[in-house]
Amino acid sequence: MKLAACCLSSVAFLLFQPFTGKCQVGQLAGQVNNSKGSGGFPGITVTLQHDGHTIAGTATNQDGTFSLSNLPVGTYDLVLEMIGYRTERQIGVSITTAQAARLTIPFPGPCPYTYPHHKLSVCMGGHTNHFIPIAYGLPTARMMQRAKQGKVYLGGCQVTGCDPKYYCPIHQKEL
């Protein structure tokens, strides 16, 4: 019995041995800076994702720097998250074996929700009607009823200062 177990482990070692030298890995390092200009941004959760799956993750240190190593070579999405801020996503971050990829990232990034004076928001397909307002904060019983009737969209309790004002129920998109 011991001989069979020994032989099986030897065969498994020989089968997987050729693959260990061919795995190419790289590194990613960077700094997340406060976009308001006050230096590095500590405490940001940094994850590297591929097809919605997290490959690796860390948090920024006191000066906003982070480092991820032993990453499979490829192209990923870099996701930055912190409670009270909207999630930032950088698409197409390349990891190579040549040298550590270095990034400098402002956080939070520019606000995508701008409302120029006297200009209507435009949804997918170009329509500018059928929008409902987004309400933030703890909803009252009346606000919950209005949400059930489709007259208002509940945006959550957290207000960041860069929040959408309108919701398109046709395309299920915040504007």
Is the confidence at residue 79, as pLDDT, over 60? yes
Share the mean pLDDT of the chain. Answer: 81
Question: For the chain, how many residues are written?
Answer: 175
Which CATH fold would you assign to the domain 23-107?
Immunoglobulin-like (2.60.40)
Domain residue spans of the chain: 23-107, 124-174
pTM of the complete model: 0.60
SS (H, E, C) 100-138: CEEEEEEECCCCCCCCCCCCCCCCHHHCCCCCEEEEECC
**93/17 Cα distance (integer angstroms):** 30
The pLDDT tens digits of the residues spanning 22-78 come to 578 999 999 999 877 778 889 999 999 999 899 999 999 999 999 999 999 999 999
Is the confidence at residue 134, as pLDDT, over 80? yes
